[in-house]
Amino acid sequence: MIKKNVGNLDRIARVALGITMLGCGIYSGNWWGAIGIVLILTAIFSRCGLYTLFGVSTCKIKKED
């Protein structure tokens, strides 16, 4: 199973920014929409390739006692 590395607050921000960029891309007909789609997909799957590459995670980790 693939570990999630995008936390809840990060997901909300990605969806909001993704929808905004998608709307701008559709309205102006440029490439911003493609970036918006990527942000929305990373939020849906809670997985970011760049976070994996740099070893970053915004998920809360539950510690076992």
Categorize the per-residue pLDDT at 63 as very low, low, confident or very high, splitting at 50, 70 and 90: low
Main-chain phi, psi angles of 60, to 5 degrees: -80, 130
Q: pLDDT tens digit string along 4-62? A: 999 999 999 999 999 999 999 999 988 889 999 999 999 999 999 999 999 999 998 76
pTM of the model: 0.84
Contact 47/4 with Cβ under 8 angstroms?
yes
The DSSP code for 59 is S
- Half-sphere exposure in the Cβ direction for 57 (13 Å, CA): 9
Tokens of 50: 């760049």
Look at the block and give the residue holding tokens 């929305």: 40
Amino acid identity, position 13: A
